Amino acid sequence: MNRISKIFFSLAAFLLSLPAWAQQRFPKPEFETGYVQPATSQAPPRALFLEYLDVFMLAAVLIVATWFVVKKRSRRGVLWTSVFALLYFGFYRQGCICSIGAIQNVTLALFDPTYVLPFTALLFFVIPLVVTLFYGRTFCAAVCPLGAIQDLVAFRPIELPRWLQKILGVVPYLYLALAVLYAATSSEFLICRYDPFVGIFRFDAEFQMLLLGGLFLLVGIFVARPYCRFFCPYGVLLGWMSTFSKKHMSITPSNCIQCKLCANSCPFGAIEKPVEEQGNRRSNVQRLMTYLFFIPLWIGIGGLAGSMMHVPLAKFNSTVYLAEQLVENPELKQDQEHIDARAFMQSGKSMDQLVTEAKEIRSQFYWGGWLVGGFIGLVIGLTLLKLSSHRNRYDYEPDKTNCLSCGRCMDYCPVKK
Amino acid sequence: MNDKKEHKQAGRREFIQTGIRWTLGVSLAGVATAAALKVSADDFVWQLDPFKCVYCGRCADYCVMTPSAVKCVHAYDLCGYCDLCGGYLKPDANALSTAAENQLCPTSAIRRKFVEDPYFEYEIDEDLCFGCAKCVEGCTSFGNGSLHLQVRHDLCVNCNECSIARVCPSDAFERVPANNPYKIKGDFSVGTDESNPA
Ligand code: SF4
Ligand code: SF4
Ligand code: SF4
Ligand code: SF4
Ligand code: SF4
């Protein structure tokens, strides 16, 4: 052993016996040469007014998009607006913060008493929903950068079978419910973690996430906007608003002449064809009543299934996971390689405290599981109900829930005002 | 006759639609108001509390930026300007030299400058530092703890949820008001005994 390491180790042995943080072991020297100590630099974060500029841009682009869709009926206008939104919210703002992720901020504000919600996040959450309640999903048409990037690569859209669309259409509800559950239990922000495009916007991400983003874009060439239709949790909320919106765009500017020209123009399968009620009205109503009757059953089954899943669901909470690990393998507490166990031992928290905390979180997941499951049961029940009910429809109309107001179909309509 | 029925049906549908529209609007307003009770006009950014950090090294690996937006900063106020810097030299260094093999920092991001006998100034080259916390562990274990990690806000993109916060074993990450975005050591030890060594 050389001299230096000897000094080092004897020093270390002595010093390590002291609480590490409370010491200035070596006093600051008094310099004689007039040495001036440099300042520790503190680069400021992005200025606050820029954050509000983002909100302003959101509102402005939303107004422009809505004008192009509802008033001007110009697909071209929508397209260029979406390109701008992609550049601004996507590549310049690097996809953060976005309205989709803001769901979690709002949830956290409702459930975590210590969390303070930035006003900008609340606005990002609320503004598109309000506009959608009036004019349909113009936000999806040209403002959301995630939608825009997918829209631009939808070169060869194929039509998916209806039943597949319906089944996959349940996924966003599940995603929304889970995202809310994990945010409400302060576990994590699922939507942000698995945002497939944010890595592309930043030109930087873990390899798996870039892969996922690339995959979505690749699939998106054939299945138009796969994230929007089969994953996006905000799309669920927008869909609700849009279904009951006041002035949703229509395919034709005046009256549909049943020319069928627009029938296949929607890459998202969101055009409803004319249908006539089939069969006997009475038996139809009876069938609907049966489906309605089954909905509470669906909710019950879903809730039960959800609550039974609470143990695996809670594993994704780091406190619960650590507690489980340490209870199952107590020897891990001594394992210096196990970073979380070591940090826990250093924290001075007792095992009992950790277990109590974990139990509490688990019980939150138990009740959350009921809610999530019940919600999904309700969604399934309603989907079935909707599938079996046809009201008469005489014209080609956008399905207001799923129509993204992209405006493609308008160009196919030969009727001019 | 049939027309009339259709008309009536359409009217009823319209009525239901309007009703639900209002319900949705009111629910949205309700959620927004409840959330608004917790609102702050200020923005928030991520910062880590250096007194909680246990130098696990995850700051280097889990940031969404490469290299990490977390860097080592030096609180000169706390530094002892030691020759035998626990943050600079490997514990088993062969010689008190600046040779790379003796340096603790994997990227040689710490620059050592002679001030006067026997004192040295240590400076971080933040372009090289990737926030691995090796020096922080060394400095905190053997020295004054003047080297510590901070999120650098010119590099951090302020993720909605910091992906390091999710994995930080000591829960050192928190959201802090954007107008007071740093927790530089020494700054907030004023008035406590950390700045007045016994
Ligand atoms: S569905 Fe979601 S991802 Fe797609 S455009 Fe709308 S908000 Fe964006
Ligand atoms: S605007 Fe037309 S083409 Fe676009 S999503 Fe709606 S129905 Fe489909
Ligand atoms: S992840 Fe946490 S404990 Fe680990 S180095 Fe970063 S701040 Fe310190
Ligand atoms: S907020 Fe994002 S960019 Fe900033 S330190 Fe955390 S992970 Fe890195
Ligand atoms: S040892 Fe790690 S944290 Fe310290 S300066 Fe070098 S790269 Fe940065």
Residues of B in contact with A91 (CB under 8 A): none
Ligand 3 neighbours, Cβ below 6 Å, are B 48, 53-59, 133, 149, 164, 168-170, 172
Bond before B118 cis per omega within 30 degrees: yes
Domain ranges of chain B: 1-38, 44-190
A271 within ligand 2 shell (Cβ under 6 A)? yes
Tell me whether strands B44-48 and A397-398 are parallel, antiparallel or unpaired.
unpaired
- Note which residues in 179-238 of chain A have CB less than 8 A from chain B: 188-189, 192-193, 198-199, 202, 204-206
Q: Which ligand is nearest to the CA of A234?
A: 1
Given phi > 0 = left and psi -120 to 50 = alpha, else beta, which region is B158?
A: left
- Portion of chain B with pLDDT greater than 70, in percent: 88
As given in the structure block, the two tokens for residue B183 are: 């927790």
Residues of A in contact with B86 (CB under 8 A): 8
Q: Does A13 touch chain B (CB under 8 A)?
A: no
Q: What is the pLDDT of residue B185?
A: 87
> How would residue B94 be classed by pLDDT, with cut points 50, 70 and 90?
low
Burial of A207: CB neighbours in 10 Å, binned 0-12, 13-18, 19+: exposed
Tell me how far the alpha carbon of residue A21 lies from the centroid of ligand 3, in angstroms. Answer: 15
Q: What is the pLDDT of residue A263?
A: 87
Q: Which ligand is nearest to the CA of A142?
A: 1
Q: Select from B91, B98, B86 the least CA-distant residue to A2.
A: B91
Name the least confident of A294-303, B8-17, B63-72. B8-17
* A37, A101, A126 member nearest B160 (Cβ): A101
Q: Does A115 touch chain B (CB under 8 A)?
A: yes
- Tell me how far apart the 2 most distant CA atoms of chain A are, in Å: 102
Residues of B in contact with A45 (CB under 8 A): 43, 45, 153, 156, 158, 178, 181
- Note which residues in 387-416 of chain A have CB less than 8 A from chain B: none
Q: CA angle A212-A213-A214, nearest 5°? A: 90
* B17, B79, B95 member nearest A244 (Cβ): B17
* B41, B116, B159 member nearest A119 (Cβ): B41
Atom of ligand 5 nearest to the CA of B110: 5
Tokens 């319209």 locate to: B14
The answer to whether B116 touches A33, Cβ cutoff 8 Å, is yes
Q: What is the pLDDT of residue B3?
A: 67
Q: Select from B188, B145, B182 the least CA-distant residue to B45.
A: B182
User: Which chain A residue shows the shortest CA-CA distance from B90?
Assistant: A5
* A8, A106, A205 member nearest B91 (Cβ): A8
As given in the structure block, the two tokens for residue A364 are: 């939150």
A417/B136 Cα distance (integer angstroms): 71
Tell me how far the alpha carbon of residue A137 lies from the centroid of ligand 1, in angstroms. Answer: 9
Mean pLDDT of chain B: 85
Q: Does A240 touch chain B (CB under 8 A)?
A: yes
pLDDT string in tens for chain A (417-residue length): 444 554 444 444 444 444 444 456 777 777 777 788 888 888 999 999 999 999 999 999 999 999 999 999 999 999 999 999 999 999 999 988 899 999 999 999 999 999 999 999 999 999 999 999 999 999 999 999 999 999 999 999 999 998 899 999 999 999 999 999 999 999 999 999 999 999 999 988 888 899 999 999 999 999 999 999 999 999 999 999 999 999 999 999 988 998 889 988 999 999 988 888 777 778 888 888 999 999 999 999 999 999 999 999 999 999 999 999 999 999 999 888 899 999 999 888 899 999 999 999 999 999 999 999 999 999 999 999 888 877 778 889 999 999 999 999 999 999 887
CA A376 to chain centroid, in Å, comes to 17
Amino acid letter for position B26: V
**From atom 7 of ligand 2, which residue's Cα is the shortest distance away?**
A398
> How would residue B98 be classed by pLDDT, with cut points 50, 70 and 90?
low
Q: Which ligand is nearest to the CA of A94?
A: 4
Q: Does A96 touch chain B (CB under 8 A)?
A: yes
B130 within ligand 4 shell (Cβ under 6 A)? no
Q: What is the pLDDT of residue A26?
A: 77
Assess whether pLDDT exceeds 70 at residue B152: yes
Q: What is the pLDDT of residue A20?
A: 42
Q: Which pTM value belongs to this model?
A: 0.90
Do residue B91 and residue A33 have CB atoms under 8 angstroms apart?
Answer: no
Per DSSP, the three-state class of A231 is coil
How do the residues of chain A divide into helix, strand and coil, expressed in percent and rounded to 5?
A: 65, 0, 35
**From atom 4 of ligand 3, which residue's Cα is the shortest distance away?**
B56
